[in-house]
Amino acid sequence: MSRLPFYLIVGLLLLVGIAASVHRHVQFEIPWLPGEQRQVWEIEAVINFNAQDGPVQVDLALPSHQAGYRVLTENTASSGYGLAYKADELGRQAEWTIRNAAGSQQLYYSVQMLVSPDARSPVQTPPELSTVPPWESPYDTAASQLIDRAWARSANNATFARELILDINGERQGENARLLLTQEQPSPLIVRLLNQADVHAREVSGLLMEDGRRRQTLSSWIQVFDESAETWTLFNPTTGEQGKPDNLLLWETGGRAVLEVQGGTNSRVTFSMLTHYQPASAAVRNHYSDDTLLNFSIHSLPLEEQALFQTILLIPIGALVVVFLRVLVGVKTSGTFMPVLIALAFIQTTLLTGLIGFLLIVAMGLIIRNYLSYLNLLLVARVSAVIITVIAIISIFTVIAYRMGLSSGLTVTFFPMIILAWTIERMSILWEEEGPKQVLVQGGGSLLTAVLAFLAMNNPWVRHITFNFLGVQFILMALILLLGNYTGYRLLELRRFKPITDEEKSS
């Protein structure tokens, strides 16, 4: 049996992989290293609504240049719709129109924002104070009492706003605030009270940027005009914290609705986002214009799918680590690729929380599974019972972690529950048959593999390479094929077979 075809395939894969990577490096100036670059956020907004078989007009607020971010390019996808961009002093808007539409509709808007710390927001003038509709009794006294209290404890507009937010949302929430909250949502209420006290304030919508997030919605923030500094300052309407978080992109600042749909129902807009790094020169250039077959790239996919691929493309790295540890080292794991899934969960939870969570869940699961074995159930029923147990454990841990103020504990929900249930089942059988030592060996092996896979997959350089150079996947494939052909000794076998070589020496 000739091994020639095998080596030909491996050689071909290596060649294709290296050529594709070099091509991408040369053609698109994507550097091998992730550093020395400009960060670009790609944000995609998807508008969903049901058209009512008639004319439809959709208005979506659009982000503008602002402190920290600059608009690079923007695109829309909306078949059959007429499109116009409008801009006024309150901000920019996209307006889609169509004479006749029926059924479920989807409109896309995507924008590239360049992160530039030196970007400044354009000169801002305070708007006219909107006329505040008067409160009815007894709300009017509650409102004026709230304003008076906060006013007395503050020195300027900013501190006044902070005190007001704390009175309405914070621990100091009193009866007056609770009474007013029956009439309005917190954010509009705060703005209304600020306006009532002749302070320029408005409610704005912002997007918290997190890499690879999908189906996000805008959050509400409050801007207060500081007359002495002639700038708007931003407040978090729940905590009263002042200042803009670095990862907050203001989407709509005019105090208008983000999405308005005429002629449709059930409208909503969701956001997906993704960050990647580009050389400063390429960042300013729109490089999707010359899409050819050679440039076949997942970067031409919609953002939501790209964000998904960013994780998917890391899985081969995890698989390579598993193959390496099993074939070359001889580590025993419980379930071949279970460690990769655990490592994926670690990426969401961070390593320490992930490890603690994993150990706690498996330990608790083993105890409960031990009891289940007395019940003498059929296998499928027993594993299903373990799955429910795992879900229960995760819920309890999440609630306890939240109560104790450990927000990182909330991420244990990222663990793949079915896989955990099977792990517990396998470990438990192993315990009964081979004793706790084997459980430690295999469990430890799995954890070690998971940690190594996590370290490899979480490495910024690895993330950069796998996402930007699809050719790397061919190289990984070739490496794994080569490892699958390895007939030499495993590292741990050098220890296992040691006694045999000893006697040769003595005889």
Binding site for another protein (CB under 8 A): 1, 327, 330, 376, 378-379, 433-434, 485-490, 493-501, 503-504
φ, ψ at 172 (rounded to 5°): -80, 5
Beta carbon of residue 52, minimum distance to another protein (angstroms, whole number)? 53
384/408 with CB nearer another protein = 384
403/498 with CB nearer another protein = 498
Beta carbon of residue 376, minimum distance to another protein (angstroms, whole number)? 6
Beta carbon of residue 504, minimum distance to another protein (angstroms, whole number)? 7
φ, ψ at 141 (rounded to 5°): -70, -40
- Which residue in 206, 210, 212, 270 sits closest to 45, CA to CA? 270
Alpha helix (H) ranges present in 97-156?
Answer: 139-152
266/376 with CB nearer another protein = 376
191/321 with CB nearer another protein = 321
Q: Please check whether residue 161 is in contact with residue 201, taking contact to mean a CB–CB distance below 8 angstroms.
A: yes
- Which residue in 489, 465, 460 sits closest to 476, CA to CA? 465
Beta carbon of residue 489, minimum distance to another protein (angstroms, whole number)? 4
Q: Please check whether residue 15 is in contact with residue 487, taking contact to mean a CB–CB distance below 8 angstroms.
A: no
33/429 with CB nearer another protein = 429
Distances (CA, A) of 153 to 150, 195, 203: 5, 18, 23
Q: What is the dihedral of CA 48, 49, 53, 59, to 10 degrees?
A: -90
CA dist., res. 383 & res. 50, Å (int): 42
141/485 with CB nearer another protein = 485
Beta carbon of residue 366, minimum distance to another protein (angstroms, whole number)? 17
CA dist., res. 230 & res. 403, Å (int): 42
460/484 with CB nearer another protein = 484
Beta carbon of residue 486, minimum distance to another protein (angstroms, whole number)? 5
Dihedral sign of CA atoms 211, 217, 222, 225 in order: positive
